[in-house]
Amino acid sequence: MSIKFAASASAIALTAAIASPAFAGPTYENDTGGSFTWYGQFDPSFQSYDDGTETYNRLVDNSGSNSRIGFRLKQAYGENTLQFKFETAFGLRSSSGVSQTSTGDTLSWDRTNIRHVDLQFDTARFGRFSAGQGSMASDGIAGSDRSGTGVVAGVAVADPAGGYAFRTSTGTLSSIDVGDVFSDYDGGRLGRVRYDSINLNGFTVSASYGTDILKTNNDRETYDVAVRYGNANLGDFAFEAALGAAWTEETGKADTRDIVGSAAIEHKPTGVSLAVAAGERDIAGSYGYAKLGYTTNWTSLGSTSFSVDYYDGSDMASTGDSATSWGIAAVQKIDNYNVEAYLAYRDYSYEDTTSTSYNDSSVIMAGARWKF
């Protein structure tokens, strides 16, 4: 697909978002410190995947930041706050859920699309206590990023095309999907109990225990810990970093231990940023990731951001294999409508120790995320 056509597709998605009613999720308050707020986002995208032989064009939901809706209930109790959060994805066809042989269902919702059913108790002195379906302590630990292009480009490089298979040099589809060999080992969402400490000079410490309550016949158990640091006022710089470890046990599968870390720094006067991440699974593979970003204010619409990134992984699907990816992305914010229009290109390469040769593949994503 040509860049011109991709830009046209992005313009269509952008027009649809802007043409939608510009309603922001309202907040309703009572006279005792309680509130109700609903929110959501819509993130349609045009995906064009080239496996070196054929090109596949699809309308999808951006897996990197899928369409969703939710609400929050808050009630203050003195200096403490009790909060309930519900959030679900719409179940639209995802960019990582299509392939050469399957277009997937346009809409297919089931309970695994539920993201949060989460009760939280925030205390001023002792931190936050959480219970229910929600983020584990290590969720987001690989994603430190100040580039402004995270909606379509980040360490989860498989999100734009994870379901597609690599095609061999003979023209046949292999059994290796993009998602098999590009992982960030980032923590996810489970039914869990979680604790987050109060902010200690920019540092927070988290720990959780969770199990997969949304899937049937599943006894997965995960324990994890994480530490985060953030400071946006280091003179001309803003900095954030995270480090976490997770242990997972499940009947019939080998136990795993993941260690992941990331960091990002931004020079605020120039808008230049750098992000790095690395991760390792003790029984599988490891990777390194780097991203260079630049944000400027060229128009009155909002900030314009660009990035280029590179991912290098090994031993993900088999011992001795190698997977690399590089990408470029541009994101234009339209502040008055809470819209981010984007256009991105990503290239994938894979090789293993067998005699099979795999074609390089690529994907173009063009779309817009509208938050309400």
Per-residue model confidence as pLDDT tens digits over 136-147? 999 999 999 999
> What's 295's domain CATH number?
2.40.160.10
Which of 343-369 are b and which e, b meaning 16 or more Cβ less than 10 Å from the residue's Cβ? Answer: bbbbebbbebeeeeebbebbbbbbbbb
Convert the pLDDT of each residue in 330-353 to its tens digit: 999 999 999 999 999 999 999 999
8 Å CB contact between 211 and 220: yes
Convert the pLDDT of each residue in 59-115 to its tens digit: 999 999 999 999 999 999 999 999 999 999 999 999 999 999 999 999 999 999 999
Give the structural domain span for 334: 3-371
pLDDT at 8 over 80: no
Give dist(CA 261, CA 186) in Å, integer.
Answer: 9
pLDDT at 360 over 70: yes
Give dist(CA 308, CA 330) in Å, integer.
Answer: 9
Residue with tokens 């309930």, as numbered in its chain: 84
The mean pLDDT of 121-144, rounded to a whole number, is: 98
In three-state secondary structure terms, 285 is: coil
List, in order, residues 6 or more apart from 153 with CB less than 8 Å away. Answer: 64, 147, 291, 307, 309, 327, 328, 329, 344, 346
Q: What is the mean pLDDT of the chain?
A: 93
The mean pLDDT of 159-170, rounded to a whole number, is: 98
Give dist(CA 170, CA 199) in Å, integer.
Answer: 56
Total structural domains within the chain = 1
- Alpha helical stretches, state H, the chain: 3-19, 178-181
Convert the pLDDT of each residue in 264-321 to its tens digit: 999 999 999 999 999 999 999 999 999 999 999 999 999 999 999 999 999 999 999 9
Any bridge partners for residue 206, and if so which? 196, 226
